[in-house]
Structure 1
Amino acid sequence: MSLFQKYISPIAHVYADCLIPNHFHFVLQIKSDQELSFFFAEKIERAKLKFNNVPKQLVSKLISLQFSHYFNSYTQAINKRYSRNGSLFSQNFKRKEIATNRYLTQVIIYVHLNPESHGVVGDFQEYSHSSYHTIQSNKKTLIRTNEVVELFGDKANFIEVHNQRLVDENAISDILDIDE
């Protein structure tokens, strides 16, 4: 998570996460153009000097590079720790745009239920490597807990829809296709 904080936190807000032994999920919102411009200021200035303007795709490319740096750093750390070499990830990361609050709430529930649906635990509430419990707590965290709770109305409803495992598989069918 320290690598996540170094590479991803400067460019994205976190709404949910779940770290499973063989994969992980992050629900992120890329920060505003203004926030990104501040973070990438030096690189944007160099582009202005080199090209006399900022190429349209520059910020998008810089965002992709942040993810690449994150995955590469993570792979290097694991390889060093376990005296291994080579690729750690079998596929490139996948992403889906979330355009509505309904879809966002469904994705958050899906991510929190993931350890249970993959048989890692019998009950997702027992799993400590997801943001489910963090969102209910008052701990300082990278997770946008207030925004997530507001999406569900309040903490009681957040807990209730998770307990009922209210995932509309039609609403998130595109995620189910990439999760295999």
Structure 2
Amino acid sequence: MKKNTNIDNFECGYVYHIYTHANGKDLIFREEENYRYFLEKILKYIIPVAEIYAYCLIPNHFHLLLRFKELKHVENEHFYLMKQFSNLLNGYAKAYNKRYNRKGSLFLDYLRRKRVNDEKYLTKLLHYIHNNPVNHGLVKDIRNWRYSSYHSYINTAKTSHVERAEMMKYFDTINDFIMYHRSSIEYDFMETL
């Protein structure tokens, strides 16, 4: 079996684009409560080990852009960090299956991930993740999608678990950030969902 070269091992201190899809034609998020519950699970399992730069949840998949924190006294970083995602996805899937009286796997059997190694790729990912609902025809304007970190960036008066300052280093003003997200970007460098 050919190894998927698009899957990088997790290491502390690095930025990753992490995403997965529902199994088959299933939905991960059916209603408002599902989105809220998933974000609560991210707070519980991912925020302790990572700084979130961007996220987007849409009905059949999600994207995260994050940097793993430096963790002391962890022997196998990849295993430890994967365990956090396993807890997130398994905990969510169990609650989801119970609520909707369903059985079986909710997510694909692997978590897709790609290490981000340069700034151009990083800023394109930010654009891609926030524009994902537009690209999938769910809304015409990203301002109308409530389940992404885009609003955390443009509503700076509100507290957020999104690490806005790190990504805002690439923009002179909030208006520059907004205009960048309205611009057309070529996503020729990544596998899209």
Partner of 2:47: 9
Is the aligned partner of 1:19 residue 2:39? no
Q: Which range moved further: 65-74 or 142-151?
A: 142-151
Partner of 2:168: 149
Matches within 5 A, 1:101-120: 101-120=119-138
Aligned-residue offset at 1:59: 2.1
Query: Which of 131, 155, 161 is equivalent to 2:180?
Result: 161
Distance 1:78 1:14 in 2: 24
Q: Distance in 2 between matches of 1:163 and 1:99?
A: 24
TM-score (norm 1): 0.80
Q: Displacement, 1:145?
A: 1.1
User: Structure 2 length as normaliser, TM-score?
Assistant: 0.75
Instruction: Tell me if the contact between 1:14 and 1:26 (Cα under 8 Å) persists in the aligned partners.
Output: yes
The answer to whether the aligner puts 1:67 opposite 2:67 as a matched pair is no
AA aligned opposite 2:97: N
Q: Kindly indicate which of the two structures has a greater share of residues assigned to strand.
A: 2
Does residue 1:85 correspond to 2:103, yes or no? yes
Alpha-carbon deviations, 1:21-76, whole Å to 9, x = none? 011111111112xxx22xxx5xx5xxxxxxxxx4xxx1221111111111101101
Tell me how large the CA RMSD over aligned residues is. 1.5
- C-alpha distance after superposition, 1:78-132 (max 9, x if no partner): 1111121211013422111111122111000000110011011122221111111
Count residues with an aligned counterpart.
154
| Runs of at least 4 residues off by over 4 Å | none
Q: Distance in 1 between matches of 2:171 and 2:110?
A: 31
Judged with a 3 Å threshold, the aligned counterparts in structure 2 of structure 1 residues 2 and 115 are, in CA distance, closer, same or farther, namely same
